[in-house]
Copies of this chain bind each other. A is one copy, B any other.
Amino acid sequence: MIEQAQLDEAIELGRAQALQYAALAYYRLLEPIAGYPRGSVVLPDGSVLPGYPSIGRIQSLEAGLPRQFHRPFWAEEKIDGFNVRILRWAGTIYAFSRGGYVCAFSTDRAPDFIEPAVFDAEPDLVLCAEIAGPDTPYLEGSTPRVERDVALFVFDLMRLGVPGFLNQTDKFALFERHGLPPAPIHGHFEPRDIDALGKLILRLDAEGAEGLVLKTDDGRERAKYVTGGSCIADIRACAAQLLDLPPQYFTNRLTRLAIFLAEHPEMDRKATGHALGEALLAGLGEAVDKSRAQGRVGHVYRCRFREQASARRFIEHMRTTGGRHVRIGTDMPRREGDYWLLEFERVFDHMTGTLSSALAGDHQYD
């Protein structure tokens, strides 16, 4: 619970924001307040949906497992998508983004993947899920686990008003009982199972998967560990934004890949290097081609909504938060089969400016 007086003060200080989505009036926290992390959501009765906590990353199994785990743990697949928390409030299902906004896209599409009846049986349940696939409004890349459109993978459960996650036993039981689509489970391990997890991560790498989230039964010890290939895939997907993303986006992945190669000497180092270089130049080459062809560098996102009203709400949200970087055609959303299709472009300012100046023959000083 957060008291209204505390919320009002936080809004005054720019630490919380009052928002409205259709009939729902809610607040999102931009900073930690009353012990709740940023991204937490305050519902009309003052109850709080906590922000999804960051999971620490380990970069070495050999050193990281004994250091971070003191009990057995489950290895669940980390799906490369975006994180939502889904709940039902006053009869309506909402999906909240990591930042604490109602996500119009995920809210619209959630019923494609989960039976609303789960909330009849478990009214206070919160599903923590990844939405992934080629057709999302947020991601440039996709995952081999979703061939078309999007899919939803539940990986954690919470109960509104109860701190922490449900334990693994209860989580798996509820997945089963309500047919919730889980992130793939890859087994139960001990902290000493370094070789077995090494083999598993190399198999996932070969399949193009992102990696693993390791969780003890009570969920208190957690860590993520990703494949070398996911570093290259991310770099490929985002190289056209090289000058627009924080440089750490790239330097973190490069460093991580080098450590992954050092820990897995059985990998083909040469082929990995080749794939990395091709990924960088493919993305950058596309940026140069776009700059030459249309004078700007951007990415076109494509996604589908069940309801036209959801698409309109999504457009409104993009216009408010993305400003002039977002270009949406006046014919959007457009009917496509049973869905409403939305395509829009996000323009990368720094790439656009730097490339157009370079290709115009300007002098550059660096």
**Stretch of A79-87, A247-255, A310-318 that contacts chain B:** A247-255
Q: Which B residues are CB-close (under 8 A) to A259?
A: 288, 355, 358-359
In the complex, the chain B residue whose C-beta lies closest to that of A242 is B251
- Check if A251 sits within 8 Å of B262, measured CB to CB: no
Interface string of A291-330 (1 = CB under 8 A from B): 0100000000000000000000000000000000000000
In the complex, the chain B residue whose C-beta lies closest to that of A248 is B366
A187: Cβ under 8 A from any B Cβ: no
A243, B269: Cβ atoms closer than 8 Å: no
Q: Are B361 and A65 in contact (CB under 8 A)?
A: yes
* A10 interface residue (CB < 8 Å to B): no
Task: Determine whether A284 belongs to the interface, using a CB cutoff of 8 Å to chain B.
Answer: yes
CB distance from A128 to the nearest CB of B (A): 18
Q: Could you tell me the distance between the alpha carbons of A236 and B274 in the complex, rounded to whole angstroms?
A: 14
Whether A220 sits at the interface, judged by CB under 8 Å, is no
Select from chain B the residue with minimum beta-carbon distance to A57: B364
Is A75 among interface residues, defined by CB-CB distance under 8 A? Answer: no
| A280 located at the interface, meaning its Cβ lies under 8 Å from any Cβ of chain B in the complex | yes
The answer, yes or no, to whether A58 is at the interface (CB within 8 Å) is yes
Q: Taking A276-B277, A281-B272, A285-B261 as contacts, is the C-beta distance between A59 and B255 under 8 angstroms?
A: no
Is residue A212 contacting chain B, with contact meaning CB distance below 8 A?
Answer: no
A358 touches B60 (CB 8 A): yes
**Which B residues lie within 8 Å of A64 (CB)?**
361-362
Q: A355-B259, A364-B56 are in contact. Are A276 and B270 (CB under 8 A)?
A: no
If A243-B255, A255-B355, A361-B60 touch, does A261 touch B281 (CB 8 Å cutoff)? yes
The yes or no answer to A213 lying at the interface (CB within 8 A) is no
A222's closest neighbor in chain B, by CB? B363
CA–CA, A254 to B255, complex, Å?
17
Please report the C-alpha to C-alpha distance between residue A278 and residue B57 in the assembled complex, in whole angstroms: 26
Is A257 on the interface with B (CB-CB < 8 A)? Answer: yes
Give which listed residue, B68, B242, B270, B364, contacts A278 with CB less than 8 A. B270
**Is A223 located at the chain interface by the 8 A CB criterion?**
yes
Interface residues of A (CB under 8 A from B): 54, 56-60, 62-68, 223, 239, 242-243, 247-248, 250-252, 254-259, 261-262, 269-270, 272-282, 284-285, 287-289, 292, 354-355, 358-366
A/B interface sample: 9 pairs, CB < 8 A: A63-B359, A64-B362, A223-B363, A243-B255, A250-B250, A256-B358, A259-B288, A275-B277, A277-B279
The 10 A-B residue pairs with the shortest CB-CB distance, nearest first, are A277-B277, A56-B363, A63-B361, A247-B247, A258-B284, A64-B361, A67-B361, A276-B277, A273-B277, A59-B358
